[in-house]
Amino acid sequence: MSSRQTKTDVILIGAGIMSATLGTLLKELAPEWEMTVFEKLYKAGEESSNEWNNAGTGHAALCELNYTVEKPDGSIDISKAIQINEQFQVSRQFWAYLVNSNLIRNPQDFIMPLPHMSLVQGENNVTFLKKRFEALSNNPLFEGMEFSEDSKKLQEWIPLIMDGRTSKEPIAATKIDSGTDVNFGALTRMLVDHLKSKNVKMKYKHQVEDLKRTSDGLWELKVRNDKGEVERHTAKFVFIGGGGGSLPLLQKTGIPESKNVGGFPVSGLFLVCNNPEVVEQHHAKVYGKAAVGAPPMSVPHLDTRYIDNKKSLLFGPFAGFSPKFLKTGSMFDLLDSVKPYNVLTMLAAGTKNIPLTKYLIQQLMLSKEQRIEELREFVPNAKSEDWDIIVAGQRVQVIKDTVKEGKGTLQFGTEVISAADGSIAALLGASPGASTAVNVMLEVMKKCFPQHFKEWEPKIIEMIPSYGVSLAENPDLFKEIHASTAFSLGLSKHVPSSDAANEERNIELETVTV
């Protein structure tokens, strides 16, 4: 027997960065709507959003080489880098709005300025990096990027990486100082605290076990509460933002859009430095190139991180495999996700990704010393005793059939799957994920609430001044917004903006919204 039944406007499943962002946006746009969040763990932001489970790059494509692909003619395609940078600027604007409105405080608790760098070795890679730099530095979003293959300059930039380096191979790096480190765990907790202050019901240790459509078009959730009792909750709109746990719940909805979709779990390990003297010698996020056959999420990087206001240093990730879809999931998650309607999709993915499977097996078999050897390609003088291994978050890569690549294509990105009538939506996938949460959630709202979106637009533009405008094509607007968000978020001490600049921005926005 169910212990009780409740009815609400919006249900959010999972208390991570995605649900917290969607909830915060909706509370600004439709404050009268009632909202409930169900989280199976004891507090918010403990799975994929947690600071130890998330790389926290603040993905703006400043340093991630997999977002800039070399085309057959040798030119560099920077379109994806521009798209991801634009999406991160949307997040920055929304966070700045929340700070300026006193809805969240102390931005330094979740975002810090930090140079972003790309580092490569070998003649071909140096040539690629130089071409990438030339292509990006012509774009206003990447203004200020520097390129160097001079060992003295690199010694200045990355002393920990250059000390003890004996290889005669060419080496080069790019550096841009406008990068950030984002603690998405801290940000999630801030947003959730804000939602609680707005009377959003937060239900921790409540596990959603099933979803079904009622005759009147609502969604009914079967939820097991912290006492082990079953509750029934209905809502007009449901968002499934449970990280790796989203796929099984999406499958339970039975919506046609959930068919021919599968998931492949990939876990990760990081080396974390326990020697403060070593930590102090490095101040950047430095991304290298992924090994052949490795997934993009396994690009090696040496990251300065700020966690609990303390500077840390992490290297990784080393890929691993677990059939669990969440760190706190079940060993049967992968098996349970294979259904009659997606088995061919899953099998096709298996045959297409034999190199990836081989790579994961190799990674699983690495000893700590072998991992330290990989670290030494970045930090030649690394000592094993200075580093410990931590387990990062589980990621479930989406597998689906695509027109371009056929059956069982592995997707390395973030996917939103929603019902045709917009009554339910689920977020699947991984990187760039959290960094683009605001843009992703705006897209969810546009798709799921088309009847409200026109009336919401003025408020959206107040929160995100560049909404509907390409910053890459409006360099003056980008400079203005980048300066103002940097000031609001404590990333810059320079007071931005002038009346003239504000006037110019208003004219541009009026042009877009007419």
Q: For position 413, what pLDDT does the model report?
A: 72
What average pLDDT does the structure give for the chain?
Answer: 88
Asked if residues 20 and 191 have their Cβ atoms less than 8 Å apart, the reply is yes
pLDDT at 349 over 80: no
* pLDDT of 502 strictly over 60: no
Residue with tokens 């090994």: 291
Report pLDDT for 175: 98
> 175 forms bridges with which residues in the sheet?
117, 146
The per-residue pLDDT for range 23-50, each reduced to its tens digit, is: 999 999 999 999 999 999 999 988 888 8
**Token pair recorded at residue 69:** 């692909």
Name the packing angle between helices 17-29 and 437-448 (round to 10°).
60
Report the number of secondary-structure helices (H) and strands (E) in the chain: 16, 22
- Strand spans (E) along 288-432: 301-307, 310-320, 387-391, 395-402, 406-411, 414-418, 424-429
Say if CB 436 and CB 87 are below 8 A apart: yes
pLDDT at 59 over 50: yes
Task: Locate the domains of the chain by residue range.
Answer: 262-405
Largest Cα separation within the chain, whole Å, is 72
**Which pLDDT score is estimated for 94?**
98
Check residue 348 and give its pLDDT.
80
**Predicted confidence (pLDDT) per residue in 313-334, tens digit:** 999 888 777 888 788 888 887 7
What's the distance, CA 397 to chain centroid?
13
pTM (predicted TM-score): 0.90
In which band, very low, low, confident or very high, does the pLDDT at 507 lie, cut at 50, 70 and 90? very low
Collapse the DSSP code of 302 into the 3-class scheme (helix H, G, I; strand E, B; otherwise coil) and give the result.
strand
- In this structure, are residues 371 and 269 in contact, taking their beta carbons and an 8 Å threshold? yes
Burial class (CB in 10 A: 0-12, 13-18, 19+), 217: exposed
What pLDDT sits at residue 500? 37
Torsion of CA 89, 94, 97, 102, to 10 degrees: -130
Which pLDDT score, from 0 to 100, does residue 79 have? 96
State pLDDT tens for residues 97-125: 999 999 999 999 999 999 999 999 999 99
DSSP string, 104-153: S--GGGTEEE--EEEEEESHHHHHHHHHHHHHHHTSGGGTT-EEE--HHH
Q: How many CA atoms lie within 13 A of 51 on its CB side?
A: 24
